[in-house]
Amino acid sequence: MSGWKAHHLYIENNVASVRLIEKILHERTDIEFLNAREGQIGLDLARQRSPDLVLLDLGLPDLPGLDVLS
């Protein structure tokens, strides 16, 4: 499928973890990578963008990851 991109959302507040995933995915032109550093922002992005994959930190400072799941 030409032009199709997977949309991945990473809800994570640890900058080093985010940078690692960005480095791994850097050359993947078929993936749009979004990061939210707060649970509520991640939840809002998930509702707006309907990502294909969500990676979720369960220990977020503003909203527990399990609350984001529900």
Residue 65 lies in a domain: no
Q: How many domains does the chain have?
A: 1
Q: Match 């992005």 to its residue by tokens.
A: 45
69 assigned to some structural domain: no
- Residue 25 CA to its chain's centroid (Å): 12
15-61 pLDDT, tens digit per residue, is 999 999 999 988 888 999 999 999 999 999 999 999 999 999 999 99
Helices (H), the chain: 15-25, 39-49, 65-69
Enclosing domain of residue 15: 6-57
Q: What is the pTM of this model?
A: 0.87
**CATH code assigned at 20:** 3.40.50.2300
Q: Is residue 66 part of a domain?
A: no
Residue 41 lies in a domain: yes
Does any domain span residue 14?
Answer: yes
